[in-house]
Every structure is written in structure tokens, then in C-alpha cells.
Chains A and B, each alone.
Chain A
Amino acid sequence: EAQVTQNPRYLITVTGKKLTVTCSQNMNHEYMSWYRQDPGLGLRQIYYSMNVEVTDKGDVPEGYKVSRKEKRNFPLILESPSPNQTSLYFCASSLWGQRIHYSNQPQHFGDGTRLSIL
């Protein structure tokens, strides 16, 4: 089954304790992205990757790191989490490696990771 898998689905942790949220897709997609969703602020893009070893900042990258060493995986790293990073996080992927040629390709989303940082 074609899917985007995030782990963990839920995590409660404390300020300053490094954490990683994993994201994996099995559709051979070039494009992957991370979003956070907050009440009243909607979905905002954190980082995206056009292909292996190519990453770029989104609208809200502060406090986050990403890496893209393999095509299928795109982990989100919080080196020193803070309470303002408590949120619902989504990973997404798309065939959308070159936006002009693949502008008809939708993004596929994972089920989300709910992070609570105390």
C-alpha cells in the first residue's frame, strides 16, 4: 500500500531533550516536506526536500533540523525542544521533484505526530 509513515504518533517529552520524528514513504517520491499544524495558525511548512541531499527552509524552520540521506526517509530533528514546539506535525511526499513538470502531482500526507513538550 502506498503510504507515508510517521513515528511516533504521539510523544510527550521535556524541554531540551533531543528528539527525532521519522518519516518514510514507499512511493519513490522525490519531494518530501514537514508541516506543523496549530489552532488558529493552520498548517505551516517547516522544511522541504526536493531530492536526496537537497533541503530548504519553509516558513517556520527555527528550532528544527532535517536530513535527506535516502530518498524514502526524511526525519525531523528537534535538537533542544521547547514548549512552543508543541504541535501536530505532518510529513508529506510528492512526485513533485521538478515543480513545473510535475505540477499535477498531489502531496500525500502521513497521519501526523502529536508532540507535547513540557
Chain B
Amino acid sequence: KQEVTQIPAALSVPEGENLVLNCSFTDSAIYNLQWFRQDPGKGLTSLLLIQSSQREQTSGRLNASLDKSSGRSTLYIAASQPGDSATYLCAAAFGGNAGNMLTFGGGTRLMVKP
């Protein structure tokens, strides 16, 4: 079964710290991997999408990398701010029929303390 795992489930850091969120997946045959942010009571906001042919994507203070061979993706947040506090979810679109579907990790709940 194709699975996506995020560890840790929760993370607390002081403001200004650089941090890395981890995402692992069981099948290297993926079309893309997306990172989302979810605020309490809100929907998901797409942050970055990495296609299978790419190694990384950057947007502002965010950088996402993809290593298919090891089944891992990381989301790097530079100079964290209290406004970054949210749950971060990664989701993979696996190959085959499941390429039409997204499989989500359980998320990492991030708290950035002032």
C-alpha cells in the first residue's frame, strides 16, 4: 500500500530559527509531491509542488526538496516567524491509477514562539 508519513507530528521552535519538516513515501513512482499549509478551521493552501522530474522548488522563505530514490521530501523554512504556526501537510500523487489521487501524510503541527 502506498503511504506517506510525516515525523514529527508536532514541533515547537523559537522565532527566527531555520527548520526542516520531513515527509517520507513508500513508492518512488510518484508524479508529484505537494506541501500544504492548514490553519485551524481553514482549508488547505498549496505552498509548493515538486514534479517528479524536479529536485526542489523555492518560494520566498520556503524550499522543498524531493529525493525519489530515498522516498523523502523536506520542507525548509528559513527564519521562522510566529505567523508560520500552522499544520503542514505533504501529499504525493503516486503512479498508475493512483496518479489521479493524492495520498496525504498525517501532518506536522508547527508552533513558532515569539
Give A residues with C-beta under 8 Å from B: 4, 31, 33, 35, 40, 42-45, 48, 50, 56, 58-59, 90, 92, 99-100, 103-112
Contact = CB atoms under 8 A, between A and B. Distances in A.
A103 B44 contact: no
A66 to B, nearest CB: 14
Contact of B101 (A59, A108, A110): A59
A105 B31 CA distance: 11
Contacts, number: 61
B45 interface: yes
Given A42-B89, A109-B44, 4 more contacts: A45-B103, A50-B100, A58-B101, A99-B99
Interface of B: 31-32, 34, 36, 41-46, 49, 51-52, 89, 91, 93, 99-107
Contacts of B45: 109
**Prevailing SS type, chain B contact patch:** strand
A5 B49 CA distance: 22
B102 A103 contact: no
A107 B105 contact: no
A87 to B, nearest CB: 14
Contacts of B42: 111-112
Nearest to B35: A106
A103 B30 CA distance: 10
